[in-house]
Structure 1
């Protein structure tokens, strides 16, 4: 691990710790650097602002579960790991989403959009639906998933992570099933 990554992790851990008892919008760069014993110049060498740090922290703590080798078949397992990580740092996610929900929603939506696009491409191997429409459908579903994730966090993680992960997985599977049924009806 490089020194740069280690420094970023130290800053990230400070942000997570501060969010345990302080709203994200109230946290300053000075708060972050004082907690970890670094100076502001070091912070700005690695991040442009606290939103850049927040984005990086989301990537490192939760979103990374959805980055590598995620397929529709293993989607449930990866989402569950991400949701459980979010519950582990519940105060951090609650405080940051309360003040800045778009960052996390956009990261999650971007990844889910790719998965839904993969699903629609797989289902429409005869290219009956235009690429533009497939992209629209994938984007639509992904924003819904992002909204559900933010709502789950904002509600205080009331629904069990396993149940929410299962709901996300069922959405993809049921979409696949319904599309196949529609295809069969059209063919007959």
Structure 2
């Protein structure tokens, strides 16, 4: 049985989701994501399949939900006047703390994958941030640069979380900031979100 501890300030009704996420993490210690079943997840935490499906579409939806919780924390930092570097460090620190979970999750790259989900979230975040700071939707060329940058960011995140690249969250964040295309660097500097 998975231990019952929840993040501070948990919203009412999310305890079940966190319980299922903890169970999924436990299953990942011995089984690949593709081979984990909803039955395993629910039996491990003493819940029913019906409860699982009331909360999630499938196990990948659960993984993406849990990742969203981590990303929200790192994005909040940027919204509080922090830099892209600070937000990336926070994101990678959270991922590092959940190494087993994210190593297994990022290895899967098919339907409803965390890689695609992470890409969509960070692209939308950067585009919304630009829109908030400038009052207009990013131009098409900026959108395409953001797409390239976000894809390469995900690629390096996967290499790092799966152990192909070894460095600290700070070093990885520095690499990603240094690897940002020139036009994005100029724009982000102008918007005062790069240090």
TM-score range, shorter chain: 0.7 to 0.9
2:157 is the alignment partner of 1:146: no
| Residue matched to 2:143 | 135
State the distance in 1 between where 2:183 and 2:157 align.
21
Q: Which of 32, 50, 54 is residue 23 of structure 1 equivalent to? A: 32
- If the length of structure 2 is used for normalisation, what is the TM-score? 0.73
Contact 1:63 1:107 in 2 (8 A): no
| Residue matched to 2:73 | 65
Contact 1:11 1:43 in 2 (8 A): yes
Specify which structure has the higher proportion of helix: 1
Q: Which of 103, 106, 109 is residue 119 of structure 2 equivalent to? A: 109
Q: Which of 169, 175, 179 is residue 182 of structure 2 equivalent to? A: 175
Larger Rg: 1
State the distance in 1 between where 2:185 and 2:55 align.
47
Show structure 1 runs of 4+ deviating over 3 A: 116-122, 176-180
- If the length of structure 1 is used for normalisation, what is the TM-score? 0.76
CA spacing shift, 1:57–1:178, aligned 2, 3 Å:
closer
**CA deviation map 1:109-128 (0-9, x unaligned):** 23443427856998xx8x9x
CA spacing shift, 1:23–1:7, aligned 2, 3 Å:
same
**CA deviation map 1:69-111 (0-9, x unaligned):** 5268522122112211211221111112222477332333234
Unaligned runs of 5+ in 1: 181-188
Pairwise CA RMSD of aligned residues? 3.1
Contact 2:77 2:86 in 1 (8 A): no
Report the 3-state secondary structure (helix = DSSP H, G, I; strand = E; otherwise coil) of the residue aligned with 1:67: helix
| Residue matched to 1:183 | none
